[in-house]
Amino acid sequence: MTDPIVRVEPIVLRIPFDDGGKGQGITPTKWTNLDIVLVRVETRDGVVGWGEGFGYMCQHATAMAVRDLVAPAVVGLDSKDPASVTLAAQKALALFGRYGVTMFAISGLDIALWDVAGKREGLSLARLIGGRKRDSIRAYASLVRYGDVERVQHFAAEAAALGYDEVKLHEVEPDTIGAGRRGAGAHARVTIDVNCQWDIAKIRAMLPVLRDNRIDWLEEPTFPPEDPAPWRMIAAEGIAVAAGENACTAVEFERLVPALDVVQPSVTKVGGVTEFLKVAEIARTAGKRMAPHSPYFGPGYWASLQLAAALPSFEVFEYLYVKPDAWCAAGAPLPVDGRLSIPDAPGLGFEPDPAVVRRYQVS
């Protein structure tokens, strides 16, 4: 028996957060809100699943794509085969490309369909896709960009005191990178994400700084190059090259993975659980590390935890080190001594808190 999709709708939340910084340096405008695009999928049998399409600063575009592109393409299709529905959506929307907002919206659909599948079977997503391999995972504190020596050192030290043994900086200058290392401590693993803001000359100039501060990986040092020589130059210095959060579908990762040491798919961007699992297999086959991108506070967070439970190759969980006004679901698992417990409820284990949705929903 089939169970057709009868409704797909976006719900946009805007939840303020505090990070102790100025909210500047990474995004085009000041970043002080978590823009969460929930994707609600309902089937004929009344099963409701929840997903999330990437929405930070593009929430209205992602929501419009869910409502005006994805929903018309998939309503009536059988929800019991998430991978087939996701592929059908990609084919139906080929005119709009398999990148960016289109794939953010499809990602939200796919996550919701896998949530439906788990609920229907009474199994967590991890158990549904191959088995629960662990009950918790190590997390790292992903700091925002502060651009200020005192703040960087303070928040890196604060994270270390809370039990994190790994800290990611979004700093781009020697003084703030050094402050992050001092704050995190001599024994912590420190990584850096520069969000594609460096060029080859900057990389050459910064290599001694990275070596001196024992940086484990350098994330998105440049735009993914046609010629990966700049990335090989980094790896030759014993510093891993990480990227992937902005790549969509396994097709793009087939091209990207050979140039990487650390593969970083993002479940709310790559095409949901379906494409994420393909990328994980590409990384495993290539013998590469996998440390996914997961700075989320909606279903993307819960989906990433389920994937961590199912995939031994999921090295560490990225926890965005900010304080949101609220979580959009009750009982969110939070890091304790640098580890996250993984829910084992049916589906993702995510159910939105109606009071939070009412308070923070925006049109």
SS3 state of residue 120: helix
pLDDT of residue 340: 98
Residue 122 clears pLDDT 70, i.e. is over it: yes
Where are the strands (E) in 270-355, listed by range? Answer: 289-290, 317-320, 323-324, 339-341
Q: State what percent of residues in the chain have pLDDT above 90.
A: 93
**Confidence category of residue 226, pLDDT binned at 50, 70, 90:** low
pLDDT tens column, 271-328: 999 999 999 999 999 999 999 999 999 999 999 999 999 999 999 999 999 999 999 9
What local confidence, expressed as pLDDT, does residue 58 receive? Answer: 97
Grade residue 39 by pLDDT with cuts at 50, 70 and 90.
very high
Residues 231-256 have pLDDT tens digits of: 888 999 999 999 999 999 999 999 99
Judge whether residue 31 has pLDDT over 70.
Answer: yes
CA 242 to chain centre: 14
Q: Which long-range contacts (CB under 8 A, 24 or more apart) does 300-304 make?
A: 300/52, 300/54, 300/111, 300/266, 300/267, 300/268, 301/332, 302/329, 302/343, 302/348, 302/349, 302/350, 303/51, 303/52, 303/111, 303/114, 303/115, 303/125, 303/267, 303/268, 303/272, 303/273, 303/348, 304/267
pLDDT at 230: 79
Outline where DSSP puts E strands in 27-70. 33-43, 48-53
11-25, 196-210, 270-284: which is most confident: 270-284
Please report the domains of the chain, with CATH numbers, ordered by start residue. 5-122 (3.30.390.10), 128-353 (3.20.20.120)
User: Which of the residue ranges 25-29, 45-49, 302-306 would you say has the lowest mean pLDDT?
Assistant: 25-29
pLDDT in tens, 181-203: 999 999 999 999 999 999 889 99
Please provide the average confidence, as pLDDT, over all residues in the chain. Answer: 96
Kindly report, residue by residue over 63-92, the tens digit of the pLDDT. 999 999 999 999 999 999 999 999 999 999
Q: How far apart are CA 249 and CA 274, in angstroms?
A: 9
Quote the pLDDT of residue 29: 79
